[in-house]
Structure 1
Amino acid sequence: MNESLLILFFLIATATNAQGTVESKSPFSEPRYHYFLKTILLFNEYLDTDNGSFNTTQVRALVPIGDKAWNLRFDLPLISANTNSINKSGIGDVGMGVSYIPFMERQNGIALRARVYANSAADPNFGSGKWVVMPAVFYGKYMSGKKFLWIASLEYQASFAGSSERSDISVIAYENVLFHFFGKNWIAADVAFRYNSILEGFQNNAFLEFGRKITPTNLAYIHPSVAFGGNKTYNYGLEVGLLILF
């Protein structure tokens, strides 16, 4: 599956021309998916699990490069755990990625992304214990006269190095999110289906999101979620974030 996705990405990238100059009123120019401005995202996510809770405070930086069809991403997570066996904090698996927009117009667009997460957690329980690569493809489309934005994504997550004592990672994720923008606000609903081929089970989740532009360049959101599936990784969660665009 990993090789098939990489081939698909290559064919799309070479068969189309980048149109990174189409920045305004295009699917990936909306605040929540802004590819064309430097962005700092600060968020805190609380997850309830059967064994206790995990809290992640994360800093994410998005930096457009070149003709702005390309975008770099950096993630630095600080994780706190409160479980039967752990009650401490530390750095989780740090990551970086690159995105490319091979096709863009005012009504729809395609974006490609590849991420790599390092086996860098300060504690084995704060990370996967593996180096993980995550290629993905996105399709965004406006609907109903741009009152709604639909973004679908397909991502494959695979480990390629790391601790031999930790389970390998092989997950395929298909996600659909629908945004409705009105005034300075937005509301979103999402359902993500994730199949873990190592566990042979589903680790799905769904969320609602409520956001608002609080200044011309600052946006805030709240994001409750719930997990479902036979092998779900948590029960419910709550994320609160601040986006700074400049």
Structure 2
Amino acid sequence: MKISQFYFCIIFLFSSAVKAQDTIQYNNPFSEARYHYFLKTILFFNEYLDTENGSYNTTQLRFLYPIGNKAWNLRFDLPLISANTNSDNKTGIGDVSAGISFIPYMERNNGIALRARVVSNSASDPSFGSGKWVFIPTVFYGRYLQSKRYLWISSLEYQTSFAGSSSRNDINVTAFENVILWFFGRNWIAVDAAFRYNNTVKGFQNNAFLEFGRKITPDNLIYIHPSVAFGGQKTYNYGLEAGILILF
């Protein structure tokens, strides 16, 4: 998709949006596990990735904060990265990022959300970040299936760099992702496939994962998901992520 077409879609959605409800809704696609737009959320997770040149481990703290009528949501990410390669082992801060989300349309069975993120060129070591400032607009569509037994979340995202080191590759990636969650009792299972085309390297960097999650208390959730990468320009082989969400 051309950049101009993507931005046109974003502007069109904003201009035709219906104002989200003023109060928290507990029974809609974006209030379910892993998509708590309406509650303050702290997410702490650890992700291990196996690559051809060694392994990368990311320990990340994410904070989500609803504002205004709770149709708006702020997000902050702080990653700590450890790189273990054949020649070097080191740990440091990765690229810090911030974002804002907006829900222009919401019903009990489906909804649309928009998000804009900026990833800063702030890594403590060049190998821990892209070396670029990156802007990432995303459109989400969520819908319940089969009497709300399943939840489908689809997203279209574009990543583009706009500043940073001239010696590093530009970021130009389009990603289309779909996840289906199945809820039963205090548990959920999710399957996800993300198709990413990197226009800089002219290749696909796709991945898929299977997730298992559980509410351990009404306000605390844990999950684990193994993932596998595929595509001609994949960035890793396989990965394992585990995390805990604290809602308040």
Normalised to the residue count of structure 2, the TM-score between the two structures is 0.98
Q: Retained in 2: the 8 A contact 1:22–1:105? A: no
* Percent pairwise identity: 69
Shift of 1:14: 1.6
Q: Where does residue 207 of structure 1 map in the other structure? A: 209
* Aligned equivalent of 2:160, options 135, 155, 158: 158
What CA deviation, in whole Å up to 9, does each residue of 1:88-140 have, x standing for no partner?
10000000000000000000000000000000000000000000000000000
Please say which of residues 7-16 and 150-159 is displaced more in the overlay: 7-16
Normalised to the residue count of structure 1, the TM-score between the two structures is 0.98
1:113 partnered with 2:126? no
Which amino acid is the alignment partner of residue 167 of structure 1?
Answer: N
1:240 partnered with 2:242? yes
- The alignment partner of 1:172 has SS state of strand
What CA deviation, in whole Å up to 9, does each residue of 1:46-65 have, x standing for no partner?
00000000000000000000
| Aligned-partner Cα distance in 1 for 2:135–2:3 | 9
Shift of 1:40: 0.1
For 1:83-94, list aligned pairs within 5 A. 83-94=85-96
Structure 1, unaligned runs of 5 or more: none
Q: Where does residue 222 of structure 1 map in the other structure? A: 224
For 1:56-95, list aligned pairs within 5 A. 56-95=58-97
Q: Retained in 1: the 8 A contact 2:24–2:70? A: no
Q: Retained in 2: the 8 A contact 1:37–1:64? A: yes
| Aligned-partner Cα distance in 2 for 1:16–1:88 | 46
Which amino acid is the alignment partner of residue 228 of structure 1?
Answer: F
| Aligned-partner Cα distance in 2 for 1:22–1:147 | 21
Q: Where does residue 131 of structure 1 map in the other structure? A: 133
Q: Where does residue 46 of structure 1 map in the other structure? A: 48
For 1:176-215, list aligned pairs within 5 A. 176-215=178-217
Q: Retained in 2: the 8 A contact 1:109–1:139? A: yes
Q: Where does residue 13 of structure 2 map in the other structure? A: 12
Q: Retained in 2: the 8 A contact 1:2–1:158? A: no
- The alignment partner of 1:32 has SS state of coil
- The alignment partner of 1:5 has SS state of helix
| Aligned-partner Cα distance in 2 for 1:6–1:123 | 32
Structure 2, unaligned runs of 5 or more: none
| Aligned-partner Cα distance in 2 for 1:223–1:115 | 24
| Aligned-partner Cα distance in 1 for 2:138–2:88 | 33
Shift of 1:18: 1.9
| Aligned-partner Cα distance in 1 for 2:34–2:112 | 16
| Aligned-partner Cα distance in 2 for 1:23–1:11 | 25
| Aligned-partner Cα distance in 2 for 1:150–1:134 | 22
Q: Where does residue 29 of structure 1 map in the other structure? A: 31
Task: Tell me the number of residue pairs that the alignment of Structure 1 and Structure 2 aligns.
Answer: 246
| Aligned-partner Cα distance in 2 for 1:216–1:153 | 28
